[in-house]
Amino acid sequence: MLSITGVHTFYGSIEALRGVDLEVKAGDIVSLIGANGAGKSTLLMTVCGKPRAARGRIVFDGEDITAKPTHEIIASGIAQSPEGRRIFPRMSVLENLQIGATTADSAYFDRDLERVYDLFPILKERSNQRGGTLSGGEQQMLAIGRALMSRPRLLLLDEPSLGLAPKVVQQIFKTIKEINEEQGVTVFLVEQNAYHALKLAHRAYVMVTGRISLSGTGSDLLANPEVRAAYLEGGH
């Protein structure tokens, strides 16, 4: 569904991605783990054209999207809940969800809104509250909900568990699984919380300084001694 080949991305003269090859199959949850600064967020943003890949190819559903404008990439069926959530702070929860539906057919709006409210009932309670006043966990739910409102076929999630209480983390991962299994949305998940991410994943990749260093099924990597030593040490 998404295939990334030989992608290089720069910030000025800093080379954040140094030839990334990665494949996301339709229907899967694919996890990407790696240390802080490895280039995970840059990869998700490069898929959406912000920043643009300097070299390499990104193909989504058979179509080369490497050079497409961001809003067209989104319209073609990709949505992202980005690093830091980036909720529109001076818009209500409802407006954030409405804006998430920018590229969707408006005929689906009521149904999609209900679906998001079913996944995250707290958002319904808070629907008239400003996005900036939500707690971290609520903002994360809103960021995922906002991404779902565009009816994506591929959902990119950047560290959805960051900074959340363990109970909320559990809930978020449960919901990701639900979105994937019940709604058939393909998920590409970036996480530092390697244990959860690998447990959930059909396929997983490890990124080290802008390159993919390892890949395999989620359980392969979970059992891999290198991965255990580097990313699962002391946890769980």
Partner 1 sequence: MEYFLQQLINGLTLGAIYGLIAIGYTMVYGIIGMINFAHGEIYMIGAFIALIAFLVLGILGITWLPLALLLVLLAAMVFTAFYGWTLERIAYRPLRGSPRLAALISAIGMSIFLQNYVQLLQGARVKPLQPVIPGGVVLMEGAISVRFNYIQMMIIATTVVLMAIFSLIIAKTAMGRAQRACQQDQTMSALVGINVDRTISMTFVIGATLAAVAGMMVTLYYGVIDFFIGFLAGIKAFTAAVVGGIGSLPGAMLGGLLIGLIEVFWSAYFTIEYKDVAAFSILILVLMFRPTGLLGKPEIEKV
Ligand X SMILES: Nc1ncnc2c1ncn2[C@@H]1O[C@H](COP(=O)(O)OP(=O)(O)O)[C@@H](O)[C@H]1O
| Residues in touch with Mg ion (CB under 5 A) | 41, 83
The nearer residue to Mg ion, 41 or 175, going by C-beta atoms, is 41
Q: In whole angstroms, how close is the CB of 94 to partner 1 at the nearest point?
A: 11
Contact 28, 76 (CB under 8 A): no
70 binds, among ligand X, partner 1, Mg ion, none (CB under 5 to 8 A by kind): partner 1
Taking the CA atoms of residue 188, residue 194, residue 200 and residue 206 in that order, the dihedral angle to the nearest 10 degrees is 50
- β-partners of residue 22 are 4
Contact 31, 201 (CB under 8 A): yes
Establish how many alpha carbons lie within 13 A of residue 203's alpha carbon, considering only the half-sphere containing its beta carbon. 12
Specify the pairing of strand 78-81 against strand 154-158.
Answer: parallel
Does position 34 bind ligand X by CB under 6 A? yes
| Amino acid at residue number 170 | Q
Stretch that binds ligand X, among 37-45, 92-100, 132-140, 162-170 (CB under 6 A): 37-45
Does position 37 bind ligand X by CB under 6 A? yes
The nearer residue to ligand X, 179 or 190, going by C-beta atoms, is 190
Stretch that binds ligand X, among 36-44, 94-102, 143-151, 198-206 (CB under 6 A): 36-44
Nearest partner of 119 among 41, 188, 176, judged by Cα: 176
The binder of ligand X chosen from 22, 38, 113, 198 (CB under 6 A): 38
Q: In whole angstroms, how close is the CB of 37 to Mg ion at the nearest point?
A: 8
Contact 6, 39 (CB under 8 A): no
The binder of ligand X chosen from 3, 5, 41, 175 (CB under 6 A): 41
Q: In whole angstroms, how close is the CB of 162 to Mg ion at the nearest point?
A: 8
- β-partners of residue 10 are 15
Q: How far apart are CA 148 and CA 101, in angstroms?
A: 8
The binder of ligand X chosen from 42, 80, 139, 150 (CB under 6 A): 42
Q: In whole angstroms, how close is the CB of 40 to ligand X at the nearest point?
A: 3
Q: Please report, as ranges, the residues that interact with partner 1 according to CB under 8 A.
A: 48, 50, 69-71, 74-75, 79-80, 82, 84, 86-91, 95, 98-100, 102-103, 132-133, 146, 150
Q: How far apart are CA 90 and CA 132, in angstroms?
A: 6
Does position 48 bind ligand X by CB under 6 A? no
Q: How far apart are CA 84 and CA 21, in angstroms?
A: 25
The nearer residue to ligand X, 52 or 124, going by C-beta atoms, is 52
Query: Token pair 């979105």 is at which residue?
Result: 179
42 binds, among Mg ion, ligand X, partner 1, none (CB under 5 to 8 A by kind): ligand X
